[in-house]
């Protein structure tokens, strides 16, 4: 395991370096945050990165995530982000154990998260997932319905509407990739201008292992990277 954790730490440094380079090229005005996507990977891998200073971890599968949260949840300042599909019978657990949810695409889910957020916790940070390329099988609200949903959700207590998340379709070219990310950035600005609490709306969660450079070039503020840090998933 020592050897394997060195490898992961190495990978993590490489990803931080790529983010830094991309940010210099894009002349970013705010630093881009790295969300380390630890889905399907064991708690010791999360701990190895935590010990180096990584604080934000992304999870897709509730059972898998809860085991890690139980094991590591008391670590200072560790932040858990739920980025997977949300079934409505799971909202209470998500509201109880997570700091962020990136994958909300319906008012009903947001309302349940708000109602079920325990009082002792601060507001749950929330991003709307956008189906940016209008793919029929994919989660996310349609771009044309997103502004209305955002205005409705920002009235709910116990939530803080932070921004948008998307997973663009696999692109055939870098231009196509950049175009999807830019259309998300346009939508982000458009929605922000319509919100009462616009100052809370500061997060554009886009970019993964294969396309974080394009995402940062288009204005990403948070990239979600799994396989380039932790290795391929089985």
Long-range contacts of range 54-57, CB-CB < 8 Å, 24 or more positions apart?
54/12, 55/79, 56/81, 56/100, 57/81
By CB under 6 A, name the binding residues for ligand PLP.
37, 39, 60, 83, 167, 208-210, 224-228
Nearer to ligand PLP, 71 or 139 (CB): 139
Question: What three-state secondary structure class fits 113?
Answer: helix
Q: Output the smallest distance, CB 194 to ligand PLP, in A.
A: 25
Nearer to ligand PLP, 13 or 197 (CB): 13
Q: How far is CA 167 from CA 73, 136, 208, 228, in A?
A: 27, 13, 8, 17
Q: Output the smallest distance, CB 169 to ligand PLP, in A.
A: 13
Q: Which residues contact 16 (CB under 8 A, 6 or more apart)?
A: 34
Residue nearest to ligand PLP (CB): 226
Which tokens is 75 given?
């670590």
Q: Comparing C-alpha atoms, which of 130, 71, 76, 75 is closest to residue 104?
A: 130
Q: Output the smallest distance, CB 83 to ligand PLP, in A.
A: 4
Nearer to ligand PLP, 60 or 96 (CB): 60
Nearer to ligand PLP, 67 or 115 (CB): 67
Nearer to ligand PLP, 83 or 132 (CB): 83
Q: Output the smallest distance, CB 228 to ligand PLP, in A.
A: 6
Q: Output the smallest distance, CB 108 to ligand PLP, in A.
A: 21
Query: How many C-beta neighbours within 10 Å does residue 178 have?
Result: 18
């Amino acid at each position: 395991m020592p050897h394997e954790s060195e490898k992961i730490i190495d990978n993590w440094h490489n990803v931080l370096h790529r983010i830094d380079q991309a940010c210099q090229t894009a002349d970013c005005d705010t630093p881009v945050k790295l969300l380390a996507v630890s889905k399907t990977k064991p708690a010791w891998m999360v701990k190895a990165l935590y010990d180096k200073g990584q604080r934000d971890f992304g999870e897709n599968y509730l059972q898998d995530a809860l085991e890690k949260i139980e094991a590591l949840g008391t670590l200072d300042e560790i932040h858990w982000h739920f980025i997977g599909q949300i079934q409505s019978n799971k909202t209470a657990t998500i509201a109880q154990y997570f700091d962020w949810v990136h994958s909300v695409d319906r008012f009903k889910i947001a309302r349940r998260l708000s109602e079920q957020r325990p009082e002792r916790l601060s507001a749950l940070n929330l991003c709307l997932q956008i189906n940016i390329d209008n793919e029929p099988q994919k989660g996310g609200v349609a771009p044309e319905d997103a502004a209305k949903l955002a205005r409705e959700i920002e009235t709910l207590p116990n939530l803080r509407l932070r921004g948008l998340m998307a997973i663009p379709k696999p692109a055939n070219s870098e231009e196509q990739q950049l175009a999807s990310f830019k259309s998300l950035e346009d939508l982000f600005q458009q929605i922000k201008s319509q919100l009462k609490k616009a100052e809370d709306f500061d997060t554009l969660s886009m970019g993964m292992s294969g396309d974080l450079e394009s995402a940062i070039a288009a204005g990403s503020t948070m990239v979600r990277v799994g396989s380039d840090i932790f290795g391929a998933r089985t």
